[in-house]
């Protein structure tokens, strides 16, 4: 499969004893928050394959979609600009507003054409993106559509490759990998690529529910195995939906406290939409004994711009104490 080299690889695989010892687990983190600069996070790994296909088709414009603070849309916009392509981002907003902060600021800086769409239209996103694609084609452009989160068979190959990277970075396989799950492609790739690197995957849902992601991840894996016949059976995997919080992009006080703890304890900066929820799941599952004594790999998927767009939800007092 054609692949562009976009990410800074290999990303570091580092132990986190200051957190792991306190939780009673052997904790390691795969620093996929460090795959790049403004384009950083888990989405670049998928874009290495998706944009290779786009260029091969002679595309000059990339269309994709997501929430207002979509990391995927931002990574797509930044990388597209670096490759000389234009990007059209369909961003879901309930009230039509689009605060220029975090990911949106980056989208605008690299010249993305942002179109705000309603949650109803977002439910029909495949149709809406196809319509935009037709419009652009009629105007003489050559569009390439990337689905939500870059999560299809081709995109998931980025995480098959990431697990090959982990295999080369470690002597002993991990007992379990935890990763945030928002559109399923990362989890699908990890499960397909994990043999020899990890025994089991826990995909921590940040929205929807277990049934939804079981179907999504299962379909992406099936399609990926049809696309690449060298892929074998996935390792054992499951979706954990107990820690998704109130809604997509909305966290609980307990989740924010886990994020603050990770930051203060070990300098691990998480985001409230994805990695913070997955990390909170890791904390809770360690405390309940589910992960006790295990060798655990936490995949840090990035999301820093989304964190910076939510500064007011943390209630942190710059003049207050930093005791933890």
Ligand X SMILES: *Cc1c(COP(=O)(O)O)cnc(C)c1O
Catalytic positions: 70
Closest CA to 99 of 90, 108, 89: 108
Task: Phi first, then psi: give them for residue 286, nearest 5 degrees.
Answer: -75, -45
Q: Which stretch binds ligand X (CB under 6 A): 4-12, 19-27, 76-84, 185-193?
A: 185-193
Helix/strand/coil for 96: coil
Least distance to ligand X, CB of residue 213, Å: 8
Closest CB to ligand X among 22 and 164? Answer: 164
Instruction: Give the torsion sign (CA, 135, 139, 143, 148).
Output: negative
Structure tokens at 67: 């929430």
Give 63 or 239: the residue with its C-beta nearer to ligand X. Answer: 239
Angle, helices 185-193/153-169, rounded to nearest 10 degrees: 50
Of residues 274, 277, 297, 307, which one binds ligand X by CB under 6 A? 274
CB closer to ligand X, 76 vs 133: 76
Q: Which of 7, 79, 91, 180 binds ligand X (CB under 6 A)?
A: 180
Give whichever of 136 and 255 is closer to ligand X, judged by the CB atom. Answer: 255
Q: Which of 40, 133, 275, 286 binds ligand X (CB under 6 A)?
A: 275
Among residues 30, 45, 72, 294, the one that binds ligand X under rule CB under 6 A: 72
| Given 7, 11, 19, 41, the residue binding ligand X (CB under 6 A) | 41
Q: How many CA atoms lie within 13 A of 10 on its CB side?
A: 14
40 contributes a contact to ligand X by CB under 6 A? no
Element (H, E) at 89: strand 86-92
Among 11, 42, 208, 251, binds ligand X (CB under 6 A): 42
- What is the three-class DSSP state of 116? strand
| CA separation for the pair 277, 108 (Å, rounded) | 27
Q: Considering only 54-62, 89-97, 177-185, 257-265, which stretch makes contact with ligand X by CB under 6 A?
A: 177-185
CB of 319 to ligand X, least distance (A): 30
- Cα–Cα–Cα angle for 154, 306, 75, rounded to 5 degrees: 35
Nearer to ligand X, 102 or 136 (CB): 102
158 near ligand X (CB under 6 A): no
Asked if residues 74 and 271 have their Cβ atoms less than 8 Å apart, the reply is no
> Where does this chain touch ligand X (CB under 6 A) — which range of 88-96, 113-121, 139-147, 180-188?
180-188
Helices (DSSP H) in the chain: which residue ranges? 17-23, 43-56, 71-82, 102-109, 119-123, 125-138, 153-169, 185-193, 210-227, 253-266, 275-287, 304-308
Q: Which of 69, 103, 186, 255 is in the footprint of ligand X by CB under 6 A? A: 186
Nearer to ligand X, 143 or 303 (CB): 303
Asked whether position 102 contacts ligand X by CB under 6 A, the answer is: no
Q: How far apart are CA 100 and CA 123, in angstroms?
A: 24
Give the footprint of ligand X on this chain (CB under 6 A): 41-42, 71-72, 149, 151, 180-187, 271, 274-275, 301-303
């Amino acid at each position: 499969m054609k692949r562009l080299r976009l990410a800074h690889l290999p990303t570091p695989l580092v132990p986190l004893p200051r957190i792991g010892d306190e939780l009673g687990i052997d904790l390691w983190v795969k620093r996929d928050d460090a795959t790049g600069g403004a384009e950083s996070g888990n989405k670049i790994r998928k874009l290495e394959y998706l944009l290779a296909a786009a260029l091969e088709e002679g595309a000059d414009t990339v269309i994709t979609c997501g929430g207002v603070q979509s990391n995927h849309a931002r990574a797509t916009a930044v990388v597209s600009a670096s490759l000389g392509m234009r990007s059209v981002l369909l961003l879901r907003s309930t009230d039509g507003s689009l605060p220029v902060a975090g990911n949106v600021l980056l989208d605008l800086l690299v010249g993305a054409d942002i179109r705000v769409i309603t949650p109803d239209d977002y439910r029909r996103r495949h149709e809406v993106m196809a319509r935009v694609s037709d419009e652009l084609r009629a105007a003489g452009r050559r569009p390439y559509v990337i689905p939500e989160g870059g999560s299809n068979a081709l995109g998931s190959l980025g995480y098959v490759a990431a697990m090959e990277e982990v295999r080369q970075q470690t002597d002993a396989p991990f007992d379990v990998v935890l990763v945030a799950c928002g559109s399923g492609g990362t989890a699908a790739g990890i499960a397909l690529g994990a043999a020899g690197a990890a025994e089991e995957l826990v995909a921590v849902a940040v929205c929807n529910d277990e049934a939804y992601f079981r179907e999504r991840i299962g379909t992406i894996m099936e399609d990926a195995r049809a696309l690449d016949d060298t892929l074998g059976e996935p390792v054992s995997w499951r979706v954990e939906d107990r820690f998704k919080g109130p809604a997509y992009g909305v966290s609980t006080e307990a989740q924010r406290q886990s994020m603050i703890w990770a930051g203060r304890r070990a300098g691990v900066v998480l985001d409230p939409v994805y990695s913070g929820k997955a990390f909170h799941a890791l904390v809770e599952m360690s405390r309940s004994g589910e992960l006790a004594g295990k060798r655990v790999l936490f995949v840090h998927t990035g999301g820093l711009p989304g964190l910076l767009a939510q500064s007011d939800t943390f209630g942190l007092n710059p003049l207050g104490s930093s005791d933890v």
